[in-house]
């Protein structure tokens, strides 16, 4: 559904955010992503997100993620601010369209560039896991089992891929069973995509975390593995960045002995996860097979756990 000026005015009427001056649609990288708009009012600029594309699949997680933002704001955690409607809810509905309005951030996305930023990333991830440990989210988000299912579902894409990538994808299928975490490891609310794509820095200080649509309760080690992929370049690992993320995380949450012994496995999970996410008809058409992380998987598998652990020390 294309929103008109009248629609935006009706949406704003449910808030105390001023009167509409102008708005425009943000161009998204993929058609599967939810549409978003920048809305200018007499009280400022705001980010309006429309939940249409994935709402049925992620309804529970989107709603819980918005509730979590209100909780984290009270804890002074640097999550993006979501505005409440006049009825006190962090979301609304208009013509059967579910939406939320967030603060507008005029801060560009940037890849982590130094150890201080890496430390901040790890520290704030650990702080999230500590603060939200008892927050009432019961379902797992995009966890190990969902990626295993996704891998099987997209078997046809693996069969169609260029010959030079087929072995890497077969290696992922072969090794993925070994990336399952022991059931006695700690769980909490997980962001699922806690990477430089979804955090914003001012200098070296992490000031905002965005995109809470897929939060769920899971093993926190998987969330850490996702963040650890920030240490990867295409065919190398920056072990100083990797170590800084780990030190920052342990500033808030100490790793268990089992976790400390399985850093290799969890970072392999992290990069395999992004490859599996990339196994999508539109995704591999737009960025291409060489942009979904297959080189990183091959690099890490060739390195092996023993050499990885030697480099990490």
pTM: 0.95
CATH superfamily of 5-103: Phosphorylase Kinase; domain 1 (3.30.200.20)
Same topology, domains 5-103 and 115-312? Answer is no
Q: Is 192 left (phi over 0), alpha (psi -120 to 50) or beta?
A: left
Residue spans of the domains in the chain: they are 5-103, 115-312
Average pLDDT per 10 consecutive residues for the chain, totaling 313 residues? 90 98 86 86 97 86 97 98 98 94 95 96 98 97 92 89 90 90 97 97 97 96 97 92 98 97 97 93 86 92 96 91
Residue 16 to residue 12: CA distance in whole angstroms = 8
Query: What integer pLDDT is reported at residue 1 of this predicted model?
Result: 62
- Residue 30 has a pLDDT of 67
Fold for domain 115-312? Aminoglycoside 3'-phosphotransferase; Chain: A, domain 2 (3.90.1200)
What is the model's pLDDT at position 138?
96
DSSP state for residue 109 in the 8-state scheme: -
CA distance 218 to 194: 14
């Amino acid at each position: 559904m294309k929103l008109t000026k009248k629609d935006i005015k009706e949406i704003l009427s449910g808030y105390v955010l001023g009167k509409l001056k102008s708005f425009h649609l943000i161009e998204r990288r993929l058609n599967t992503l939810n549409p978003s708009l920048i809305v200018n009012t007499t009280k400022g600029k705001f980010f309006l997100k429309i939940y249409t594309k994935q709402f049925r699949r992620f309804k529970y997680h989107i709603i819980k993620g918005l509730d979590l933002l209100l909780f984290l704001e009270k804890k002074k955690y640097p999550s993006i601010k979501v505005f409440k409607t006049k009825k006190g809810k962090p979301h609304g509905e208009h013509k059967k369209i579910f939406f939320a309005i967030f603060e507008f951030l005029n801060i560009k996305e940037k890849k982590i560039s130094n150890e201080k930023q890496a430390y901040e990333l790890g520290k704030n991830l650990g702080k999230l896991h500590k603060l939200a440990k008892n927050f009432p989210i019961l379902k797992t988000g995009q966890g190990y089992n969902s990626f295993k299912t996704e891998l099987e579902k997209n078997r046809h894409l693996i069969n169609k891929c260029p010959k030079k990538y087929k072995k890497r994808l077969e290696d992922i299928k072969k090794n993925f069973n070994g990336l399952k975490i022991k059931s006695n490891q700690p769980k909490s609310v997980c962001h699922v995509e806690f990477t430089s794509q979804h955090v914003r820095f001012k200098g070296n200080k992490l000031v905002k975390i965005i995109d809470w649509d897929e939060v769920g309760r899971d093993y926190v080690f998987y969330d850490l593995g996702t963040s650890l992929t920030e240490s990867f370049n295409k065919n190398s690992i920056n072990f100083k960045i990797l170590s800084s993320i780990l030190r920052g995380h342990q500033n808030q949450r100490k790793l268990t002995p089992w976790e400390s012994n399985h850093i290799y496995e969890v970072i392999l999970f992290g990069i395999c996860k992004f490859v599996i996410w990339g196994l999508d008809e539109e995704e591999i058409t737009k960025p291409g097979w060489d942009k979904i992380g297959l080189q990183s998987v091959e690099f890490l598998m060739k390195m092996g756990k023993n050499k990885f652990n030697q480099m990490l020390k």
